[in-house]
A and B are shown apart, each in its own frame.
Chain A
Amino acid sequence: MIYPASDLSLPIALAVAFFLLLGAALALIGAIGFLRLPTFYERLHAPALGTSWGIGGIMLASMIYFTAASSSLVVHEILIGTFVTFTTPITFMLLARAALHRDRTARSHGVPRKYPIGPEERPRKDDDPQAS
């Protein structure tokens, strides 16, 4: 269904425009940060702008617009927001841990190494050195 935007009353149109611009602006700033920040770990933070309140603003705008235009409650956008919020951190963590793994293997500077050897090789507290 297509709802003409010219039918909206002014306060609702303003609210829709505000949230839409807020979301779009955050997504744009996130993209700029993604381009400009110097290191990989720093660049990881920028897209989170677009996936938190970037998507949140656009979601709210869509909910307000379609609720007002169709005169019935439209809230299924919440599902998009929920799934984006719960799935993007998994991608971020996967990318970050892959980078960390590579940097540790390459003995890069500035990357925390907890143990001089791999974590699976360090001694356990309850291990008895005599027994093995």
Chain B
Amino acid sequence: MARKINLRIWRGNSTDGALQDVTVDAMEGEVILDVIHRVQAEQMNDLAVRWNCKAGKCGSCSMEINGKPRLACMTRVSTFEDGETVTITPLRAFPVIKDLVTDVSFNYKKAMQIPAFQPPADLKPGQARMQQIDVERSQEFRKCIECFLCQDACHVIRDHEENKKSFAGPRFFIRIAELDMHPLDVIRNRKQTAQEEHGLGMCNITKCCTEVCPEHIKITDNAIIPMKERVVDVKYDPLRWLGSVIRKRDGIL
């Protein structure tokens, strides 16, 4: 059962561009990426769009559909009403390259700035022993497929280009949280650097990152807020500071 769907697709490059209307067939059960492919094959051979797995596992087809940051492969056509015009634009937090493809290199630069995992120097491969409950928190964050929708939705950089230099964004806050909660990581100043170098304090926990995450990672509740609390432990809480000076307890801070 085919139906027609009206799309308003943004086409252009870094200097200019505009929304263009197309009407295309949509088959039952299809997702937005399918109809974009049909547009590409039948009407706009050179329409640029990124995609890979088409199963919500690689995080390539990030774009904004009716204004919401989404994966095109996870947005079913049936969720739109008959006759509705669906607006499709590239991610609006990043520079556009062409059509629906944006330059997401910002994220790879930020990834480079977070010190890598460092195991204890005397740990030999195969000797690590970790309990499931100790790895579960970090495992949640390692579900991240790096679609960068959270980065796109985050108003700190979406609405303030100038913050990009001092703010790592939700994707990298979960990376920092992952490492800070990793049972084997020996780097102990991740809380301080999260606040001082990666801009954790810029986050005002308005939760858009969590709302748009296709992996349903509880970015705000499980990573950002716990990290903010850990930062308070080492930077703002006078009592904990005193406690740590007196007792020097390991494994807690």
Pair from one complex: no
